């Protein structure tokens, strides 16, 4: 029965507040035109009507051993009724319920980013059966491996691979880029994107919550439920503060023998603005970030970002575009096309940016590789047509006893030009070549690093596996404070640990599997949305659109959100202090105090909403 009543009040909250408002207006009108008993009766009806939902919530709180604000209000209203202050009881319950309604409406607005994401998620899919006959299914019931038909204007309902057809897909919901991308057989597509023209048959590889779009929504929802240190402090504070107010009210009543004053202390001591201020800021800040492709995995990440003094960047794919191309191919021995064919065969299955650059070269004969072994920090060893091929750095050749005259001079010339180098050598040294590979800085890299400096990040570091000359050539174009080159993945993590041992708070920004150790070690791990799933999984902050300038925006948003929380705490505490001063000075009564209290709650919510606008 209790649950049904609570559900009724929750469902019809606006109507109930409206009826209470009309009741109070009629009571005030009756006092001016008729007798006092009618006024008292109408106020008593309003008070009882408002007391029921508050009292039921208070009872639920007490069952879980929590002395909530509703408990204070219930005791205060019951006390006011017992001493015949029906008008005070009515106005207090009306203001409390009105405040809750306005607070709920304001918070609903601050959650608009998540709501927009959820509403944008595809709900149904056209699935093809074994006979190629289409039928509609809810996306949650589409099986992995099913073939899904996507028509012009439709959302892609699943993550998958195009197996038939072609068309232009708008991926703005995932990457932020509105320009449609041509998708053909073999291309990957993501749920939530839109086919602007053409028709596709897609084999589902992920559905529902497991899609990229689903994970974005899940990340934002989880982040909003997380707690900062400030939130945990306020929760503990409220847990002890509310019983303390009850004891203070009891003490005031015993000492002064003024029941009305004791009841007023309970009403004015409610920590409503204090309790709601932190979640309101959190929801608004994280919602704003999500709207702009910045996913905070919890408000704790925002808290940590405000304490960061050092940011370390991976180079390739983070500071640079991550799409290097082969700018030089210097043949020391062997035939050019055969070397290209063998190099492409070795690198075609690798996702390393340098390997990808080599794999883009044009082949004449597709060489068959027998076995490929990755040697961490060195390169790869591959068997082709009975010969061992080494593709990597100079250390890889040295480890295998290969010394080639003129090789070091060639490498030095390329690295001084700011290019990365990959060496191909066959075990009998009949094929030896050096690939010069260059990558361009992201367009926003310089401006982003300058903004980070302005935001108080005083130490910017570049960590890269490239050689010192290439790293230095890139760094000299940027406001970088320190460069560490020729670093293995574990070296990056070790360096971050050294910084932390010197009391630095460190962010690491990366995009690849090889960045995972450093991402795991950092105080805040930032993954580019264009990076690998592993990097995104271990990160604390994801830049969904893969744009570096979003990092500075994220830092700035975190700083504004934490400042907003502090403002809300100050507003809440100052309101309670002023109310008590006004009460004991004789300027504040129960109803007027409750009005000020509810206005303070609305004020902190409105203050939080400022985070959404920019």
Using one digit for the tens of pLDDT, what is the confidence trace for 476-493?
889 999 999 888 777 888
Q: Which two tokens stand for residue 112?
A: 């608009």
What's residue 172's pLDDT?
Answer: 58
Q: Helix (H, G, I), strand (E, B), or coil: what is residue 552?
A: helix
Range among 75-79, 178-182, 289-293, 558-562 with highest mean pLDDT value:
558-562
Residue 527 CA to residue 518 CA, distance in Å, equals 11
Find the helix or strand (DSSP H, E) in which 581 lies: helix 549-585
Tell me the per-residue pLDDT of 128-166, one tens digit each, with 9 for 90 and over.
888 888 888 888 788 888 898 888 888 888 888 998 888
Please report which helix (H) or strand (E) contains residue 314, including its range. strand 310-314
Mean pLDDT for 389-411 is: 86
**Beta bridge mates, 136:** 126
Instruction: Compute CA distances 217 → 172, 205, 209, 420, whole Å.
Output: 15, 18, 8, 38
Max Cα-Cα span within the chain: 113
pLDDT at 176: 45
pLDDT band at 459 (very low <50, low <70, confident <90, very high): very high
- With cut-offs at 50, 70 and 90, classify the pLDDT of residue 559: very high
- Does residue 507 carry a pLDDT above 70? yes
Q: Give 121-217's CATH code, choosing from 3.30.420.40, 2.70.150.10, 2.60.40.10, 3.40.50.2300.
A: 2.70.150.10
**193-207, 421-435, 520-534: which has the highest mean pLDDT?**
421-435
Helices (H), strands (E): how many in the chain? 23, 20
Q: 119 pLDDT exceeds 50? A: yes
pLDDT at 542: 83
Which residue from 582, 576, 598 is spatially nearest to 50, judged by alpha carbons?
Answer: 598
The closest of 549, 478, 580, 488 to 176, measured between CA atoms, is 549
What pLDDT score was predicted for residue 17? Answer: 81
Distance set, CA 204 to CA 158, 532, 606 (Å)? 6, 19, 44
Determine the pLDDT at residue 235: 59
- Output phi, psi for 570, to 5 deg: -65, -45
How far is the C-alpha of 392 from the C-alpha of 507, rounded, in Å?
29
What is the Cα–Cα distance from 342 to 165, expressed in whole angstroms? 32
| Residue written as token pair 């994220």 | 554
The superfamily in CATH containing domain 294-321+441-544 is: HAD superfamily/HAD-like (3.40.50.1000)
pLDDT over 50 (residue 447): yes
212 pLDDT band (50/70/90 cuts)? Answer: low
Lookup: tokens for 198: 């053409």
> Is the per-residue pLDDT at 222 higher than 60?
no
Residue 112 scores a pLDDT above 70? no
Per-residue pLDDT band for 512 (boundaries 50, 70, 90) equals low
Residue 20 has pLDDT above 80, yes or no: yes
502: pLDDT strictly greater than 60: yes
Contact at 8 Å (CB) between 535 and 508?
no
> Which of 55-69, 292-306, 327-341 shows the lowest mean pLDDT across its residues?
55-69
Look at residue 464 and tell me whether its pLDDT is greater than 70.
Answer: yes
Region 95-107 average pLDDT: 66
Over pLDDT 90: what percentage of the chain? 11
Written as six digits, the tokens of 576 are 């309670």
- Is the CB of residue 477 less than 8 Å from the CB of residue 446? yes
- Domain 325-438, second-level architecture: 3-Layer(aba) Sandwich (3.40)
pLDDT at 224 over 50: no
Pair of tokens at residue 374: 């990755």
Residue 457: predicted pLDDT: 92
Q: Scanning the structure block, which residue is given the tokens 């961490």?
A: 376
429 DSSP assignment: S
Pairwise CA distance, residues 448 & 453, whole Å: 9
Average pLDDT over residues 363-386: 81
Average pLDDT over residues 60-80: 74
Residues catalogued as catalytic: 314
Q: Per-residue pLDDT averaged across 570-584, rounded?
A: 83
For the cut 70, the answer to whether the pLDDT of residue 220 exceeds it is no
**Domain positions in the chain:** 2-111+221-282+563-613, 121-217, 294-321+441-544, 325-438
Looking at every residue in the chain, the average pLDDT score rounds to: 79
Residue whose tokens read 């068959």: 368
| Residue (of 460, 494, 458) closest to 475 by Cα position | 460
CA 35 to chain centre: 60
Size of the chain, expressed as the number of residues it contains: 614
Res 236 pLDDT > 50:
yes
Say whether pLDDT at 246 is over 80: no
Report the range out of 25-34, 216-225, 232-241 with the highest average pLDDT: 25-34
pLDDT of residue 560: 92
What CA–CA distance (Å, rounded) separates 328 from 335?
15
Which range has the worst mean pLDDT, 84-93, 299-308, 431-440, 603-612?
84-93
């Amino acid at each position: 029965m209790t649950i049904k009543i609570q559900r009724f009040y929750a469902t019809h909250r606006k109507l109930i507040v409206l009826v209470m408002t009309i009741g109070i207006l009629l009571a005030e009108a009756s006092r001016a035109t008729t007798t006092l008993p009618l006024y008292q009766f109408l106020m008593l009806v309003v008070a009882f009507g408002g007391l029921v939902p508050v009292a039921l919530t208070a009872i639920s709180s007490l069952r879980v051993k929590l002395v909530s604000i509703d408990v204070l209000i219930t005791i205060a209203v019951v006390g006011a009724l017992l001493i015949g202050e029906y008008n005070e009881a009515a106005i207090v319950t009306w203001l409390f319920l009105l405040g809750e309604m306005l607070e709920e409406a304001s918070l609903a607005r601050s959650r608009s980013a998540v709501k927009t994401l959820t509403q944008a998620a595809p709900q149904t899919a056209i699935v093809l059966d074994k006979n190629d006959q289409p039928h509609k299914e809810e996306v949650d019931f589409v099986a992995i491996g099913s073939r899904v038909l996507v028509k012009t204007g439709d959302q892609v309902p699943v993550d998958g691979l195009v197996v038939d057809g072609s068309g232009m897909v708008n991926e703005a919901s995932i990457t932020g880029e509105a320009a449609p991308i041509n998708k053909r057989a073999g291309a990957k597509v993501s749920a939530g994107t839109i086919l602007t023209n053409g028709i596709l048959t897609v084999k589902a590889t992920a559905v529902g919550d497991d899609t990229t779009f689903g994970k974005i929504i899940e990340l934002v929802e989880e982040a909003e439920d997380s707690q900062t240190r400030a939130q945990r402090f306020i929760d503990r504070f409220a847990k002890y503060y509310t019983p303390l107010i009850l004891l203070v009210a009891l003490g005031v009543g015993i000492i002064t023998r003024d029941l009305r004053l004791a009841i007023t202390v309970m009403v004015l001591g409610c920590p409503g603005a204090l309790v709601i201020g932190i979640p309101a800021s959190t929801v608004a800040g994280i919602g704003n970030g999500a709207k702009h492709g910045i996913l905070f995995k919890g408000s704790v990440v925002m808290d940590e970002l405000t304490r960061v003094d050092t940011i370390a960047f991976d180079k390739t794919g983070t500071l640079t575009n991550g799409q290097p191309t082969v700018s030089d191919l210097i043949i020391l021995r062997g035939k050019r096309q055969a070397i290209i064919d063998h190099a492409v065969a070795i690198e075609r299955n690798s996702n390393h940016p340098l390997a990808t650059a080599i794999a883009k070269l044009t082949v004449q004969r597709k060489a068959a590789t027998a076995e490929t072994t990755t040697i961490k920090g060195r390169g790869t060893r591959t068997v082709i047509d009975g010969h061992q091929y080494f593709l990597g750095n100079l250390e890889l050749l040295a480890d295998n006893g290969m010394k080639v005259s003129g090789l070091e001079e060639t490498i030095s010339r390329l690295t001084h030009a700011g290019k990365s180098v990959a060496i191909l050598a066959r075990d009998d040294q009949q094929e030896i070549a050096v690939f010069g590979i260059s990558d361009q800085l992201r367009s926003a890299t310089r401006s982003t690093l300058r903004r980070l400096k302005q935001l108080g990040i005083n130490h910017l570091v570049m960590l890269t596996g490239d050689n010192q000359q290439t790293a230095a050539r890139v760094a000299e174009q940027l406001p970088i404070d320190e460069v560490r080159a020729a670093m293995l993945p574990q070296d990056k993590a070790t360096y971050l640990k050294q910084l932390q041992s010197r009391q630095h708070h460190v962010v690491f920004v990366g995009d690849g599997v090889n960045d995972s150790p450093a991402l795991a070690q950092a105080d805040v791990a930032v993954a580019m949305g264009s990076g690998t799933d592993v990097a995104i999984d271990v990160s604390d902050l994801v830049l969904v659109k893969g744009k570096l300038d979003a990092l500075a925006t994220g830092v700035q948003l975190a700083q504004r959100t934490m400042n907003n929380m502090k403002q809300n705490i100050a507003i809440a505490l100052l309101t309670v202090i002023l109310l008590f001063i006004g009460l004991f000075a004789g300027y504040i009564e129960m109803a007027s105090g409750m009005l000020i209290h509810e206005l303070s709650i609305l004020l902190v919510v409105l203050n939080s909403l400022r985070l959404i606008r920019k």
